A and B are shown apart, each in its own frame.
Chain A
Amino acid sequence: MLLEVKSLCTEFPVKRGVVRAVDDVSFEVSEGEILAIVGESGSGKSVTSLSIMGLLAEPGHVAGGEMTFDGKDLVHLSEKEYREMRGNDMAMIFQEPMTSLNPVYRIGDQIVEAIRTHEKVSKKEALTRAIDLLRKVGIPSPEARVRDYPHQMSGGMRQRVMIAMALACNPKLLIADEPTTALDVTIQAQILDLLRRLREDTDMAVLLITHDLGVVSEIADRVVVMYCGQVVEEAEVRLLFDNPMHPYTLGLLKSIPRLEDDDSKRLYMIKGMVPNPLEMPPGCHFSDRCDSCMQVCRERMPELVQVGDHKVRCFLYEEQDGHAKDAAEVKANEEKAREAIEAAREVSTAEALIEGDVAREAEEGGADER
């Protein structure tokens, strides 16, 4: 196993309490695998990646759990050891390539810097390698472009430069935080194609952080779905898309407008919105928005249990004792969840929205009194 994350908790103390942005998250990435973490804003997916990279901004800190990378314990690593590892064994690319490149240095110099920080090579040698890297990520006439400044390049080109820089020291793990979100669709297709090719050539593992299920389905091997800081479902990519189990995953998939859809039908929508992290509903975090919500969901938090080839956190599939239900019941409940979603499609939008808002207000009002 290349990267192992076990019950990771990351907390941010704020004025009104402590926000647990990542809550008991566990997953593994093996060599050469592309693991995608999917979630909406506020789901804790970016904080998870920053925790792994040791880049959390104060006052955020890892409050518990274990992280092992290539046999090394990451939680107790000193800042110096972290610096040696970042950019060398694991590298990261970010959403906005313009803000992550230094605007006053030529891109060649920035790549050379990355190489020379970790390896003892001459400037000239490093520059040759930089040009090779740029060629590898598909930048035309790299000998000339190596002297460009970031502003002379387009968004897609800049993202390629970021990828070249990340690849400079042949990392074992690349963390890509929304690498295509800021790009146009045709450019996004180019970058995804590039990542796919690089994986084939280098056997580098990729941890892909994204909110876009389309991107996930294109490129990932395995998927972790996060909601409000927790893992709600984990499965192989095809299994997850063909047979989503958690009502949240199901809802997310249903709410994407697709080309194949019959457009006379209304889009399914998940009612309400992500709860305030300081005022989480007492039971399952998704209970307020779930169409299959039961009494028990409002009382207790379900465990992440293994059901067939999925891991899923939902009482539809979990017995009271933390074990999975038997196969027949699981099947029946999956069906039930699908029907609930189809039924919810028909409700008028404005009514559903008001209901969702009011439910949330009531929740918050209750929390204030406490």
Chain B
Amino acid sequence: MSDNGNIASPELRNDDVLLDVQHLTKLFAAETNFFGKATSYVHAVDDVSFQIKRGEAFGLVGESGCGKTTVGKMLVNLLRPTSGKIIFDGKDLTAMKDSERKSYCKDIQLIFQDPYASLNPRMRIGDIIAEPMIANNIVPKDKVEARVNELLECVGLANYMRNRYPHEFSGGQRQRVGIARALAVNPKLIVCDEPVSALDVSIQAQVLNLLDDLKEEFGLTYLFIAHGLNVVKHVSDRVGVMYLGRIMEIAPKRSLYADPLSPYTQALLSAIPAVDSKSKRERIILQGDVPSPIDPPPGCRFAGRCFKRLGVCGNSVPELREVKENHRCACHLYDPELPPTEEMTRAAR
């Protein structure tokens, strides 16, 4: 396995880093033999490294099956990584014993994609929001009620709604309850797993604005997982693009959208339907489907669908290397050891 992206950009190499994910890998057994031993694996997340600074919103984008949700689940301890490290606030979470790890759970909270499935239908929303506070002993019992009211107000719900059940709420309101529950334990990092993709357009804007406001108010750090680059652009400071378990490109938002380096990012950007007639883009239509993540072929994961494929792409995995300032990309087009390509000269300019 190539040494993939341990090299942090210099500006990130300091105490500002809240989360440092190093070579994270998760394999799921796809088939097992007679003795229950795995014979082939789904490479859900393969050697993924990235860092998130305090107060930053990091967007993780990719199509279904690219492993973005698996990354989120490993961060909140719903899944155990096969290998790699998760360093949170200077402590290696993956090396901890369960009992020790538990005390860090409250610092990383998750907002789920489906607001219909993630709230217990038999609990009143006041209790749903209070439960994590009581379980983690965040506030004394007699102050819980006041804190619930405060949280409801933060997410734009009126106090008197606390005695209602989830079914009485619309999708957008439920998602706001989910956000209040995540905030209840004063987390440092919130993993938002496609928080708006199940909502209507007009409601999406409400939730995105709310997340933006809360970030400022409480100084939160977000890992924002989404499948569309347009949603992420609005909320993130830096963006990582994943494909079939690997990171293809990481860059500050401005740089990524203005000058996407990886052909996959270029295709992903061009696939977003344009709403304005003024902004019609050249469309890149990728051929074929995302290949199976079970024992993926050697070489670049994207090689089979890539429209700028080189001979080398099918054999060797491109390293994630810094092509421009803070802009890293895993693609052979930018490999200094290969003959220079058109893209490389353009990026160098």
Contacts and interface: CB of A to CB of B under 8 A. Distances in A.
Contacts of B289: 154, 156-157, 187
B176 A353 contact: yes
B210 interface: yes
B63 interface: yes
Interface in B234-281: 234, 253, 257, 267-277, 279
B285 A268 contact: no
B230 A259 contact: yes
A154 B274 CA distance: 26
Nearest to A138: B287
Contacts of A213: 201, 275
B277 A258 contact: no
B213 A350 contact: yes
Interface stretch (A166-174, A189-197, A298-306): A189-197
A186 B63 contact: yes
A217 B277 contact: yes
A242 B64 CA distance: 33
Contacts of A189: 270-271, 273, 283, 285-286
A256 B157 contact: no
Interface in B12-68: 63-64
Interface string A237-263: 010011000000001110111111101
B290 to A, nearest CB: 8
A189 B274 CA distance: 11
Interface stretch (B112-120, B148-156, B308-316): B148-156
A155 B344 CA distance: 35
A293 interface: no
Contacts of A119: none
A266 B156 contact: no
B64 A357 contact: no
A117 to B, nearest CB: 30
B172 interface: yes
B157 A357 contact: yes
Interface residues of B, number: 52
B157 A263 contact: no
B100 interface: no
B123 interface: no
A331 B259 CA distance: 39
Contacts of A358: 158
Nearest to A361: B158
B233 to A, nearest CB: 6
Q: Give the most central of A242, A349, A352: most B CB within 10 Å.
A: A349
A369 to B, nearest CB: 18
Nearest to A289: B202
A255 B231 CA distance: 11
Contact of A257 (B63, B208, B290): B208
Interface in B192-216: 200-206, 208-210, 212-213
A370 B164 CA distance: 23
B200 A269 contact: no
A357 B277 contact: no
A118 B153 CA distance: 60
B276 A260 contact: yes
B162 to A, nearest CB: 13
A255 B200 CA distance: 11
A259 B257 contact: yes
A218 B273 contact: yes
B307 to A, nearest CB: 12
B4 interface: no
Given A189-B285, A190-B285, A267-B205, A257 B234 contact: yes
A127 B250 CA distance: 48
A345 B71 CA distance: 34
A218 B274 CA distance: 7
A258 B155 CA distance: 24
B341 interface: no
B7 to A, nearest CB: 28
Contacts of A40: 200-202
Interface in B105-158: 153-158
Nearest to A271: B206
Given A186-B267, A258-B275, A349 B201 contact: no
A273 interface: yes
A354 B202 contact: no
A260 B158 contact: no
A292 interface: no
A103 interface: no
Contacts of A214: 272-275
A70 interface: no
A218 B276 CA distance: 10
Contacts of B253: 263
Given A186-B267, A263-B233, A273-B203, A349 B209 contact: yes
B230 A257 contact: yes
Contact of A253 (B208, B233, B275): B275
Interface in A279-332: none
A199 B233 CA distance: 33
Given A185-B271, A186-B271, A257 B176 contact: no
B191 interface: no
Contacts of B275: 213-214, 217, 241, 253, 256, 258
A349 B286 contact: no
B158 A215 contact: no
Contacts of A211: 200-201
6 contacts: A40-B202, A185-B63, A189-B283, A192-B273, A193-B285, A357-B158
Interface of B: 63-64, 153-158, 161, 170, 172-173, 176, 200-206, 208-210, 212-213, 227-231, 233-234, 253, 257, 267-277, 279, 283, 285-286, 288-290
User: Closest 4 A-B residue pairs measured CB to CB?
Assistant: A353-B156, A214-B273, A255-B205, A269-B205
Given A255-B205, A350-B213, 20 more contacts: A184-B290, A185-B227, A186-B286, A188-B271, A189-B270, A190-B286, A217-B275, A242-B277, A255-B201, A257-B208, A259-B279, A260-B276, A263-B234, A263-B253, A269-B205, A273-B203, A350-B154, A350-B210, A354-B157, A357-B173
